[in-house]
A and B are shown apart, each in its own frame.
Chain A
Amino acid sequence: MAKKIFTKDNSTYIIVILAYIIVEALIGTGNLSSLMKGLLVPLCVYVILAVSLNITVGILGELSLGHAGFMCVGAFSGAFFTQLVGDSLNGGLRFAIAILIGAVVAAVFGILIGIPVLRLKGDYLAIVTLAFGEIIKNIINILYVGTDANGLHISIKNAAALNLDPETGRIIIKGAQGISGTPSDSSFTIGVILVLITLFVTLNLIHSRTGRAIMAIRDNRIAAESIGINITKYKLLAFTVSAAFAGIAGVLYAHNLSSLVALPKNFGYNMSIMILVFVVLGGMGNIRGSVIAAVVLTLLPELLRGLNEYRMLIYSVVLIAVMILSWSPTAKAFRERYFGFLSRRKKEVS
């Protein structure tokens, strides 16, 4: 049993590394369009987001619709740090610290939000995470932060209210205009390294004592509590780790764009829902599935680009069809009957 899990995990790493080698080879031989090149870092971002959300949704078993909020926090804190230090640190070290800061700030938000949120259950928990995500996005949109010789100035009104020293003052976060001029420290290689780190931590978490405790809570909260598992602690831990990785994804995202703005499209509930789609389609609790689903679903609209305005329509139809074909009992029976010999049946989970 232990050996089987081991190989499954390894296959996840191998898939990522193989994909990296193939892509690098394609770039080297000039066979990758610039459009696809532009997608490489976002792909890494989505994979990290999907894997990290899977910790909350698949491993902890709580529906979160506010994952983009943590990504937003990470993106802004990381980009803020990079802007603050500017060229006084060299690129690699600066980016490494930015990643760390993004992760820590997102984790702090994870704890702060997790404490009240995790008391709730089911759909109530889902809507509150959605609410927190939207609040974060809203606050970022009115937040002005500047710096001058006297230190940091923060305002939620406008740039003038910062009272910056006109000579040394510099506005970093400009409310609805966000942060602009972030150096592009992200690259596909760094992205893949971060994906591997995320996978390593997540997979090891799942197989650790902690991970088993978290899954015990998911499977039966009361039973887990009765054998002495500290529910609050483990729930909060899973939620926080999930948030921290979303923060890392945010930093990666922020350093891939020259201007970072919190829009409904990138940090709103639509984004959170999109990540949730990756997780559910890849299989809840299935980390490798999240990686594959995130890649396929991000590439799908691009591959359908030839169909122009029909592509999102087809994307939605494919999404519905895949869900029905993979989940409905009729389709399952059909598969079992005709293709049963192809797939090893998993144990039925009631």
Chain B
Amino acid sequence: MSLISYLLNGLSLGAVYAIIALGYTMVYGIAKMLNFAHGDVIMVGAYVVFVIVSGMGFAPLIGIFASVAVCTAAGVIIMMVAYRPLLQVSKLAVLITAIGVSYFLQNVALLIFGADTKSFSSVVSFDGFSLADGRINVSGETVVTILACIVIMVVLTLFIKYTKAGRAMLAVSEDAGAAQLMGVNVNGTIALTFAIGSALAAIAGVLLCSSYPSLTPYTGSMPGIKAFVAAVFGGIGSIPGAFIGGLLLGIIEILGKAYISSQMADAIVFAVLIVVLLVKPTGLLGREIQEKV
């Protein structure tokens, strides 16, 4: 029975990773850059909810909306200021500015909120339920997180498939130059992608901190890296890949913690990634790119 509750916890953590990884993978698909600051946008999102809900006493829903709004704006501003001038020049240069942005966000949070851990009160008011005569307890956070992840995944897939903006995203990720010639607003599409990615990061931040209620300026860093791993695991650039990669990673992490060693959980996650990439060098659902002479 404990296996089932571990699996549920894993799914819940994996759902958070999946939401973050979706943002990662979309940005990678469009801009071909590793956005190392993505993890810190999660932290920003969580702090916004913390201030509005715990500090000012507004309803959690208002906090979430504010958080999504702030993160979306922050994501677009970061892209315009720090990434756009370099996007066409060098991938590595953008990687370094992304690291700079990551330090920047962490230190702004450090200045405003200090280094001490804030205890985040869950935004989920639903108590959860128990199954199998109380032997398995499912917390409200778990249910909400998994549901949110599925809803986001479905909406995002529909958005990309059936809207003009979504198809523009696909086109730009396929070939930005050709898309521009076809009249797609490439810069606008990139900005939209960053906006969606950052909005997802805000939601992920709120869900993450509801399940694991300690908030510091460095909260987003490790989940950010894990989500990056999840995105690569599923095949970076692939949206279903990020979803599957995130869920699997969460489950592996929780099961590893439970059955093997809690200190080694991160090492196990990384080891699985290495094995997967050695067998399938472009991730689970990644596309093979043929090299042409």
**Partner-B contacts on A (CB < 8 A):** 57, 63, 116, 119-121, 123-124, 126-128, 130-132, 134-135, 138-139, 141-142, 176, 222, 269-270, 273, 276-277, 280-281, 284, 309-310, 312-313, 315-317, 319-320, 323-324, 327-331
Contact B278 A276, beta carbon cutoff 8 Å: no
Interface membership of chain B positions 116-145, coded 1 if the CB is closer than 8 angstroms to chain A and 0 otherwise? 000000000000000000000000000000
- In the bound assembly, the distance between CA atoms of A276 and B81 in angstroms comes to 22
Contact A120 B266, beta carbon cutoff 8 Å: no
- Nearest residue (CB) in B for A317 is B104
B36's contact among A116, A119, A273, by CB below 8 Å, is which? A273
| Pairs across A and B, CB under 8 Å, 26 listed | A116-B274, A119-B278, A124-B236, A124-B282, A124-B283, A134-B266, A135-B270, A138-B266, A139-B264, A142-B264, A176-B263, A269-B225, A277-B99, A313-B104, A313-B111, A317-B100, A319-B99, A319-B100, A320-B82, A320-B97, A320-B101, A320-B104, A324-B82, A324-B85, A328-B86, A329-B85
Per DSSP, chain B at the interface is: helix
- Which 10 A-B pairs have CB atoms at the shortest separation, nearest pair first? A131-B270, A328-B85, A316-B103, A138-B267, A319-B100, A320-B100, A316-B104, A313-B107, A327-B93, A135-B267
Nearest chain A CB to B236's CB is how many angstroms away? 6
**Partner-A contacts on B (CB < 8 A):** 28, 34, 36, 81-82, 85-86, 88-90, 92-93, 95-97, 99-101, 103-104, 107-108, 110-111, 221, 225, 228-229, 232, 236, 261, 263-264, 266-267, 270-271, 273-274, 277-278, 281-283, 291, 293
Per DSSP, chain A at the interface is: helix
Q: Which residues of B contact A131 (CB under 8 A)?
A: 229, 270-271, 273-274
Contact B100 A128, beta carbon cutoff 8 Å: no
Q: Which residues of B contact A142 (CB under 8 A)?
A: 261, 263-264
Given contacts A131-B271, A132-B274, A329-B85, 15 further A-B contacts (CB under 8 A): A57-B92, A63-B92, A124-B277, A131-B274, A270-B221, A280-B95, A309-B111, A310-B111, A312-B107, A313-B107, A316-B101, A319-B96, A323-B96, A323-B100, A330-B85
- Nearest residue (CB) in A for B96 is A280
- Nearest residue (CB) in A for B263 is A142
- In the bound assembly, the distance between CA atoms of A134 and B225 in angstroms comes to 11
Q: Which residues of B contact A126 (CB under 8 A)?
A: 34
- Nearest residue (CB) in A for B115 is A309
Nearest chain A CB to B155's CB is how many angstroms away? 27
- In the bound assembly, the distance between CA atoms of A269 and B176 in angstroms comes to 32
- In the bound assembly, the distance between CA atoms of A309 and B283 in angstroms comes to 41
